[in-house]
Amino acid sequence: MKIIKTSIADLLIIEPDIFKDERGYFFETYNLNRYYENGITADFLQDNEAFSNYGVLRGLHYQLAPYTQAKLVRVVQGRVLDVAVDLRRNSPTFKQWISMEISAENKRQFLVPRGFAHGYSVLEDQTIFVYKCDNVYHKASERSINPFDPSLNIDWGIPKDKILLSPKDIANPNIEDAEFDF
Residues marked active site are found at 61, 131
Question: Kind of pairing, strands 57-63 and 97-103?
Answer: unpaired
Distances (CA, A) of 107 to 34, 36, 42, 100, 127: 17, 20, 20, 12, 13
* Dihedral sign, Cα of residue 33, residue 8, residue 60, residue 56: negative
Among the residues of 13-116, which ranges form H helices?
32-37
Whole-angstrom distance, CA of residue 162 vs CA of residue 164:
7
